[in-house]
Amino acid sequence: MCPEIFGEWLRRQGHRVIRTASSYWYDAGPRVYQAFPFDWLITPSEDELNGLLVGNAAVCLRYSAPLEYDLGRLSYHTVCSDPDYDVVALPKQSRTNVRSALKRCTVTRVPFERLADDGWALQQDTLNRQGRNYVTRRQWEERCKAATDLPGFEAWAALVEGTLAATATVFQLGNCCSILYQQSRTDLLRTGANLALGFALTKELIGRAGVNCVFYGLHSLDGPPTVDWFKYRLGYRLRRVRQRVAFHPLVAPWVNRLFHALLREATRLRPQSGTLAKAEGLVSFFLEGMLPLERQTVPEALRLAPQASGQSGQAAGESALLPGIPRISSA
């Protein structure tokens, strides 16, 4: 599969997709561009970035770069690259919980049509639990149906007595499989459907011929730390990267600590506004990313979670650990 297929999926949802020398980009928000594939680590020149910003009247853009890059927020990708991934590799409590969940749930592929219809309730429940209620039913249905006939896309579910209890969307690009979205029903959380799906899906994907990495997401701009804690219980590790947010040359001088404070207060007053939450995250990443690494605030996940070695995507090699930040072993 190739990035153009992923780009077609985005276009079908109404997004604009742009190709530059280093990567692909899409309008993740109004005048905000995100680089994809999400697991790629890129090092675009300033001329390339300014051309993208100015030429497309963009306000800002976001991408992941190697840790050795000069600019960007200390961040991470959540990945699994263990070819022997299995229950025995999980922390003790997770092993017990996963085994129990697999007895209650059946994990299988499902048609995207079913995900679009029956999966909406799970999407609503998940966003409500995370306090991020800014996806409409129409957007959800478009997202699912856009993948129906595109190679590389798969929909998976954990079923409890035939009912969708947890679902996920997957895209395979070369040697990396990305779990793009995962949702679950609140009233069926007690069954462990999220654990059953996450474990069985990871084992299936990492066991495929030619696949050496399962990518489970970027360090979120606005998501709570609990979004990633679930993944650590499944044996995922963190690959340290830098996430760079770059603003348009005419906008950047106005993006300062005072502006961030005002935006943070506006977000506090309107906690259900997805636009404000994302904007605050972009500004926070931008300001932190201008500081030397040793002066940046270490993300909570990097302080508390097991670390990953090795990288996938366009930049391979050993992940560095920053001075003064201890390696934390898994339980």
Phi then psi for 36, rounded to 5 degrees?
-145, 160
Give dist(CA 261, CA 154) in Å, integer: 41
Q: Mind listing the pLDDT tens digit for each residue in 212-238?
A: 999 999 998 877 666 777 888 899 999
Q: Mind listing the pLDDT tens digit for each residue in 285-322?
A: 999 999 999 999 999 888 876 554 433 333 333 233 33
Cβ atoms of 95 and 87 within 8 Å: the answer is yes
pLDDT > 90 in the chain, percent: 75
Q: Could you tell me the pLDDT band of residue 2, with boundaries at 50, 70 and 90?
A: confident
Could you tell me what percentage of the chain is helix, strand and coil, using 3-state DSSP and rounding each to the nearest 5? 40, 25, 35
Average pLDDT over every residue of 61-87? 95
Q: Is it the case that residue 152 has pLDDT exceeding 80?
A: yes
For tokens 């995207």, name the residue: 112
Q: Which two tokens stand for residue 157?
A: 């579910």
What is the longest distance spanned by two Cα atoms in the chain? 57
Give 161's contacts (C-beta < 8 A, 6+ positions apart). none
Q: Is it the case that residue 1 has pLDDT exceeding 80?
A: no
Domain ranges of the chain: 3-79+238-304, 82-211
Question: Which superfamily, per CATH, for 82-211?
Answer: Gcn5-related N-acetyltransferase (GNAT) (3.40.630.30)
pTM metric for this prediction: 0.87
Name the least confident of 74-88, 183-197, 214-228, 241-255: 214-228
